[in-house]
């Protein structure tokens, strides 16, 4: 009786193993292959330099100029909202949206005033450093970025950037 049970259990094990092997999904002959055979799309194999037609802005492209051109006092660029209280208010709203995370509430670089971004190692720009820059230079920095600051020319209109310059200039005058 035990010999019969052993043969029966051995046959059961062999039958189970063969059924598992026969109906396992990776086998190509299985009629339901679902995901085992499908086309593989590799978008990274294409040419990354050749953009599709119409995908790159041509008319609105704004090359980044040398910011030192704007540092000159006689460059002919002026803040159209200089001294306007409404511009300062609008600039404060925009500063609190786009600039406060890195530069802090009042651009104070003291240890007690550091933002979470500055505490992780990003240097904050002090208001003292801004006070010896002219408005076109600050506008160019906001528009085209700098070494570690991203450009905001595509996020903000020129008027909005000038409003932020007015607010930064207001902060510089307030701290002196």
DSSP letter (8 states) at residue 52: P
Q: What is the mean pLDDT of residues 79-98?
A: 89
Reading the block at residue 110, the tokens are 């003291």
The pLDDT tens digits for 19-68 are 777 666 555 565 666 665 666 666 566 555 555 566 655 555 555 666 66
DSSP letter (8 states) at residue 25: T
**13-49: buried (b, 16+ CB within 10 Å) or exposed (e) per residue?**
eeeeeeeeeeeeeeeeeeeeeeeeeeeeeeeeeeeee
**Measured between alpha carbons, how far is 152 from 77 in angstroms, rounded to an integer?**
19
Q: What are phi and psi of 107, to 5 degrees?
A: 55, 40
Helix axes 135-144, 158-175, angle to 10 degrees: 130
Give the pLDDT confidence score for residue 19 in this predicted structure. Answer: 76
Q: What is the mean pLDDT of residues 160-172?
A: 91
**Measured between alpha carbons, how far is 27 from 56 in angstroms, rounded to an integer?**
46
Query: Which pLDDT band holds residue 90 (cuts at 50, 70, 90)?
Result: very high
Q: Is the full-model pTM beyond 0.85?
A: no
Q: What is the mean pLDDT of residues 93-113?
A: 78
């Amino acid at each position: 009786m035990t010999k019969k049970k052993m043969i029966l259990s051995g046959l059961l094990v062999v039958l189970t193993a063969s059924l598992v092997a026969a109906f396992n999904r990776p086998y190509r002959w299985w009629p339901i292959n679902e995901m085992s055979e499908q086309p593989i799309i590799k978008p990274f194999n294409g040419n990354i330099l050749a953009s599709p037609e119409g995908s790159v802005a041509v008319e609105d492209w704004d090359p980044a100029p040398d910011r030192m051109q704007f540092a000159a006092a006689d460059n002919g660029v002026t803040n159209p909202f200089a001294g306007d209280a409404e511009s300062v208010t609008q600039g404060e709203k925009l500063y609190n949206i786009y600039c406060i995370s890195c530069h802090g509430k009042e651009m104070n670089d003291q240890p007690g005033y550091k933002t979470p971004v500055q505490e992780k190692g990003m240097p904050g720009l002090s208001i003292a450093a801004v006070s010896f820059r002219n408005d076109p230079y600050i506008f160019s920095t906001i528009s085209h970025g700098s070494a570690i600051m991203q450009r905001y020319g595509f996020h903000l209109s020129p008027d909005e950037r000038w409003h932020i310059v007015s607010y930064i200039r207001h902060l510089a005058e307030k701290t002196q």
